[in-house]
Amino acid sequence: MHIREGGFGMKQITSYGFNMDTACVELMFSDGTMLAIDTVAVENEFAETWLDRRELDYLIYNDPLGYADLVLNSDVKKYLDTVRQGQTNHQ
């Protein structure tokens, strides 16, 4: 995964993971910079139900890079709405 840097090229991610001490998904880039995503703040902003929180928690623990991609490059609300609709259809 790459992150656009002010529209002037790309930064490569060299490492990533969930830091339980800070509750952040952390991304380390090839130039030495780090980005920390506050997962509590994201959940407080977008999660409407405990099922939404469960979905986000699953990504945080099992696919932190996918979680970062969702938060940085996608629409979290739309993603959760889609997941919620799929859960409703299977019940």
Q: What is the mean pLDDT of the chain?
A: 87
Residues in CB range of 59: below 8 A, 6 or more apart: 66, 67, 70
pLDDT at 8 over 50: no
Q: How far apart are CA 81 and CA 3, in angstroms?
A: 25
pLDDT at 91 over 60: no
- Residues 35-78 pLDDT 10s: 999 999 999 999 999 999 999 999 999 999 999 999 998 899 99
Q: Where is 10: in which H helix or E strand?
A: strand 10-19
Q: Where is 86: in which H helix or E strand?
A: helix 76-89
Q: pTM here?
A: 0.81
> Residue 9: what pLDDT?
45
DSSP letter for 1, please: -
> Residue 85: what pLDDT?
86
